[in-house]
Chains A and B, each alone.
Chain A
Amino acid sequence: MYVGNYGKDPGLGRAGVRSWPYHLLVLCVLLNPFTPLSLTFLKMRRMDLISFQRCHVLCSLYPLAMGLLLDSHRRRALARLLLRLNTPLCVVSYVAGVVWFLALAFSPLTQNTYISENAMGSTMVEEQFEGGEHALSYARDFIAQRRKTGNLPVAWLERTMRSVGLEVYSQSFSRTLPFPDETHERYMVSGTNVYGILRAPRAASTESLVLIVPSSPGTLNAQAVGLLLSLAAYFRSQIYWAKDIIFLVTEHDLLGTEAWLEAYHDVNITGMQSSALRGRAGAIQAAVALELNSDVVTSLDVAVEGLNGQLPNLDLLNLFHAFCQKEALLCTLQGKLQHSDWASLGGSLHGLQTLMLMVLRQASGRPHGPHGLFLRYHVEAITLRGINSFRQYKYDMTAVGKTLEGMFRKLNNLLERLHQSYFFYLLPSLSRFVSIGLYMPAIGFLLFIPGLKALELWVKLNKVDFSPEEQLGPLQLVGQDVRGVALTPLVAPVLISQATGLALYLLPVMGQHVAAQHFPVAEAEAVVLTLLAIYVAGLALPHSTHRVVSSTPRGPDSGWMALKLLALLYLALQLGCISLFNFSLGFLLAVTMVPAAALTQPSGPRLLYAVLLVLVSPGATLLGSLFLWRELQEAPLTLAEGWQLFLGALAQGVLDHHLYGALLFPLLSLGLYPCWLLFWNVLFWK
């Protein structure tokens, strides 16, 4: 019968009736986790009494705050305030999120990078590598042998590595792609990886470093192979190695790398067929991938973004940057040089451009270089690319080799895995970074909006709080199920949109042969076109399905409100999770989808909403990102080029998922797309 007392004074006399459980409860609460904790602190004298009291007062505020929420009058006042301020709050929050993000490149939010790792920061290295010419002759031999054999000259590589004193092994692998890869022109791939291990002369083989050069028919990286061999010969003559060094040449770029990594760690996660490795060298501490295609370079570009937006520890990048400065090399990030003056507006805008490029690349979730696959195994890795542009001043192989020598010697000084510096960061330039604590508020502001909207809908759905106070006689409402959300009408839309998502995920690859038989297209095209077809068909399918099951109308708007409430929570949950492991992806999706999702309703300018909603759908976001990317790279796309690139990107996204386990495709098709369909459904609710 206490239900009837809801919102009224519960009566003071009742406490005495059953006083013993009451006292027991008080006793239990006194023995809450805080009390012994605070007393322990007091004993340890780490906490002075003032802060102890503050802590206790805060703890005591908890029941008071709960009292405020439990009081129905105050709660109603709060709800009214929420309804009135909802729209301005949402607008402010969105603007704050976007402004915060744009401000990330400006000076108070960026910090200068510094090497945190003691073992690398306080040690010194004197580079003595002089084998640049040697490297070039190796490279010429490699090209000649390559031409002779037609593919990777395994025997020559093994012979040469053995001659410089390495333990040499090779590994063969093969993989049939789910559908032909038109960008790289490959379908059934088989190749060989060759690697040589330089054993540390005075240490146990428990840790190792990797220098990896991918060599595929498209990009030969002959100079990189030459430098690898020359460095191996030089490293062999030094006695200070405390970790084994693995010199690895992989074929078919990422496929070879994936095969080698899986075999090294004795796992098989992508269906790669490969022979087992016969030589290992302990846990890999760090890896550097090298791509060089010219005898001289004008600059070195560094890529950090790995699979699913994973990033290597910032210290590895700091290390590279330190040696760039030491060797006076020109080093770029995202192909962008550093601006000379950071404090100026131009410098900050330049930084913002670089940061946007990084966000787009990270959001793509693709491994931007062989290093990207190492990150999955908690091996810190970066890719260095030699760029040969039209600048006057060129650096020879010796300068590049010295940089690598310095980096490897510093890595050799490591005592533990790189862990001192950041794993989550954004880079407006090589010398500056934004830490996770500073960029997360941007997405926090954006995710506040679905929360607010959901709260508003919840309040509206629970009409109790809407009504004038006199009608709130609780006894009248008892037994009448007005409040709460009816879930049955939502089952159909949710199921249908999820099923569409599942179809989007499965059908293109499964049905490629069928499609290729019935339509005059190749398999790769069939996959992409099926993808698009299902995507577009999803727009037509699911709306107004709720009428099939919905029977008892609860009010004119309660159906779509409940659906939107569900969709908003679903969206916020997904974006929150995504932004935790890939901030860039989460932010890009949030900044586009959140406002449209918040606005969508089946009344008002529906056509405008529909256009907006289509523009922010995941596929359109991808297309827009491609244009933005090329725009930032100062190589704008025409519409036709953009479309071609879009089709290519779709195919690559599906391939990346099947070949390397990239999560973008399943995330979009199984998570975001069905969620977006729910909003579509809300818009066309009848």
Chain B
Amino acid sequence: MEQVQFLGPGMDPVSENRPHPVPSGESLHWLTLGEVSHGGQQCFLVSALWAPGMKAGPPQPAGSLPLALAPLSTFSKRPLSTAVLEALSAEESSKARNLENRLEIDGFPPSPLVVKDFIVLRGLCSPALGRPGQLLNGHTNNWAVLVCTSRFWFNYRHVANTLSVYRSVKRLGIPDSHIVLMLADDMACNPRNPKPATVFSHKNMELNVYGDDVEVDYRSYEVTVENFLRVLTGRVPPSTPRSKRLLSDDRSNILIYMTGHGGNGFLKFQDSEEITNVELADAFEQMWQKRRYHEMLFIIDTCQGASMYERFYSPNVMALASSQVGEDSLSHQPDLAIGVHLMDRYTFYVLEFLEEIHPASQANMNDLFQVCPKSLCVSTPGHRTDLFQRNPQNVLITDFFGSVRKVEITTERVALKPDPSSLGYSHLKCQKDEELTEPLNYAEQLPVAQIIHQKPKQKEWHPPGGFILGLWALILMVFFKTYGIKHMKYVF
């Protein structure tokens, strides 16, 4: 069994991983062609394609192409072995071939493309992937946005919260390039810190979450509501470096973790501003409309945290909070030597839970919902799954907290018989096709309008605006009529 790590979009393919040398100036693309069932397990077909003359950039999808294009995924661990389809059953290989045929039929320009290899990746993922067409809906890359909205020494615990989640997602495989960490990074080097260059999450200095390689993307006063919303929605200035962007796409699973001081319906950002639950929900909706995520896990550890997710209305969002509306979230791990509380209760138990997770763990979201019962948390953690399509039981923790997918690569050969007719397509037609391409309709994944059937709030009756002005005028008229203008000197 081989563990292969998918890297996300935007990663340059590692040259030695390429099965065939690619002519310079041309780009190599990996196409996920589809999936087949092999031996009761799910297999993904991935094809390396390159198009002579095609410059870098993802291939333009054809109009009614039934295939999702896996955006530029590649392998980083080892050179590709030649994967073969031969060993597949007759049915499966015909299915695979059908895929290939559909490729031709639907007008994907096969002529300049040379189908070199099929690799059969045998997924060991959850049973959910057993559903046909799942790969088309599954995620191919993971992102994390971790935000600590507090600063100042006595808010040490919020920084430790965020860093502990950072530590977990990094350990489970999301690289720094896919983590946007927003942190008022004023703890490790705070003069009040008796243990410089550390941030501990456990008493007695058991776990230093600051580690050796913390890459803070938005630091100190850069942690603002504006920057946060810009990162989420992708409306960043052109000069923003890649490390400070959320370069996700519609195949990205995003983990958003926030902690700080909040109240009913808002979360405070560094003593100067706040974000409301409505703003957050709208930002998520923008992300959805801009196809910036596939599924999203939102976790918030703050007082009255549940109020922050109650306004969400975008599909595929699962949300967790440390406390219900009207409850405080409490701190944990008071440390006398350092002189502050090291963590908040909810995140402390989440961290304890995550420390047990490894890339092959089968723990699912239901387990995450249970991590901090009221007996430990004192507050009542809440979660919201009605916007999420899948059953939380089928959602692995590693779907969000890691970037690890287990695959098995067969060593069996698959013989491909290129269809000679496909070679007859002209390059011209390809271009024409591209010109004719209509904007791809995004699949209606969730009937938003039906899920969110909130009745419009009945307006309270109020007199029309002119009424009040009229009332004023009337009062003044009566006054002046009665007392005359000369008595104004008594008024003023």
Give Cα A123 to B463, complex, Å.
Answer: 53
| A49 contact from B196, B341, B462, B482, Cβ within 8 A | B462
B residues less than 8 Å from A124 (CB atoms) = 334-336, 339-341
**What 1/0 flags go to B319-356 for Cβ under 8 Å of A?**
00000000000010011110111000000000000000
Give Cα A60 to B475, complex, Å.
Answer: 7
Give Cα A14 to B487, complex, Å.
Answer: 13
CB pair A2–B340 under 8 Å, yes or no, is no
Q: A15-B484, A119-B153 are in contact. Are A242 and B337 (CB under 8 A)?
A: no
- Indicate if B192 sits at the interface (CB-CB under 8 A): yes
CB pair B481–A240 under 8 Å, yes or no, is no
**What 1/0 flags go to B457-492 for Cβ under 8 Å of A?**
000101100001101110111011111111110110
CB pair B473–A30 under 8 Å, yes or no, is yes
- Indicate if B194 sits at the interface (CB-CB under 8 A): yes
- Indicate if B191 sits at the interface (CB-CB under 8 A): yes
| A413 contact from B192, B196, B334, B473, Cβ within 8 A | B192
Give Cα A49 to B472, complex, Å.
Answer: 16
A residues less than 8 Å from B491 (CB atoms) = 63, 66
- Indicate if B193 sits at the interface (CB-CB under 8 A): yes
CB within 8 Å: A-B pair count: 113
Give Cα A468 to B240, complex, Å.
Answer: 86
- Indicate if A541 sits at the interface (CB-CB under 8 A): no
**What 1/0 flags go to B40-55 for Cβ under 8 Å of A?**
0000000000000000
Which of A197-205, A246-254, A306-314 interfaces with chain B? A197-205
CB pair A26–B490 under 8 Å, yes or no, is no
B residues less than 8 Å from A155 (CB atoms) = none
Q: How far is the CB of A16 from chain B (nearest CB, A)?
A: 10
| A122 contact from B154, B480, B485, Cβ within 8 A | B154
Determine which residue in B153, B469, B491 has the highest number of CB atoms from chain A within 10 A of its CB, and name it. B153
- Indicate if A189 sits at the interface (CB-CB under 8 A): no
Q: How far is the CB of B441 from chain A (nearest CB, A)?
A: 37
**What 1/0 flags go to A13-54 for Cβ under 8 Å of B?**
011000001100110011000010010000000001110010
A residues less than 8 Å from B337 (CB atoms) = 126
- Indicate if B190 sits at the interface (CB-CB under 8 A): yes
CB pair A2–B486 under 8 Å, yes or no, is yes
- Indicate if A64 sits at the interface (CB-CB under 8 A): yes
CB pair B480–A26 under 8 Å, yes or no, is yes
Q: How far is the CB of B435 from chain A (nearest CB, A)?
A: 49
Q: How far is the CB of B114 from chain A (nearest CB, A)?
A: 62
- Indicate if A118 sits at the interface (CB-CB under 8 A): yes
B residues less than 8 Å from A119 (CB atoms) = 152-154
Give Cα A238 to B195, complex, Å.
Answer: 11
Determine which residue in B460, B473, B479 has the highest number of CB atoms from chain A within 10 A of its CB, and name it. B479
CB pair A56–B480 under 8 Å, yes or no, is no
- Find the A residue at minimum CB distance from B482: A67
Determine which residue in B193, B334, B469, B475 has the highest number of CB atoms from chain A within 10 A of its CB, and name it. B475
A residues less than 8 Å from B339 (CB atoms) = 123-126, 240, 409, 413
Give Cα A50 to B476, complex, Å.
Answer: 22
- Indicate if A383 sits at the interface (CB-CB under 8 A): no
Q: A53-B468, A119-B152, A123-B340 are in contact. Are A239 and B196 (CB under 8 A)?
A: yes
- Indicate if A412 sits at the interface (CB-CB under 8 A): yes
Q: How far is the CB of B46 from chain A (nearest CB, A)?
A: 53
Give Cα A67 to B460, complex, Å.
Answer: 34
- Indicate if A506 sits at the interface (CB-CB under 8 A): no
Give Cα A14 to B482, complex, Å.
Answer: 11
Give Cα A38 to B467, complex, Å.
Answer: 14
Give residues 172-204 of A contacting B (CB, 8 Å).
200-203
Give residues 338-387 of B contacting A (CB, 8 Å).
339-341
**What 1/0 flags go to A123-140 for Cβ under 8 Å of B?**
111100000000000000
CB pair B194–A15 under 8 Å, yes or no, is no
| B336 contact from A38, A125, A239, Cβ within 8 A | A125
- Find the A residue at minimum CB distance from B477: A26
B residues less than 8 Å from A56 (CB atoms) = 468, 471-472
**What 1/0 flags go to A394-418 for Cβ under 8 Å of B?**
0000000000000001001101000
CB pair B193–A49 under 8 Å, yes or no, is no
Q: How far is the CB of B118 from chain A (nearest CB, A)?
A: 60
| A240 contact from B193, B460, B471, B486, Cβ within 8 A | B193
A residues less than 8 Å from B463 (CB atoms) = 53
A residues less than 8 Å from B487 (CB atoms) = 10, 70
Can you give 17 contacting A-B residue pairs, CB < 8 Å?
Answer: A2-B486, A10-B484, A30-B469, A30-B473, A38-B468, A50-B460, A53-B463, A56-B472, A63-B479, A63-B491, A70-B483, A118-B154, A124-B336, A125-B339, A238-B194, A239-B196, A241-B192
Q: Could you list 6 further interchain pairs (A-B, Cβ under 8 angstroms) beyond the known A26-B480, A66-B490, A240-B194? A: A35-B469, A49-B462, A53-B462, A53-B468, A63-B475, A123-B154
Binding site for A on B (CB under 8 A): 152-154, 189-194, 196, 331, 334-337, 339-341, 460, 462-463, 468-469, 471-473, 475-477, 479-488, 490-491
The 6 closest A-B pairs by CB, nearest first: A10-B484, A126-B336, A202-B191, A242-B191, A49-B462, A203-B191
Binding site for B on A (CB under 8 A): 2, 10-12, 14-15, 21-22, 25-26, 29-30, 35, 38, 48-50, 53, 56, 60, 63-64, 66-67, 69-70, 118-119, 122-126, 200-203, 238-242, 409, 412-413, 415
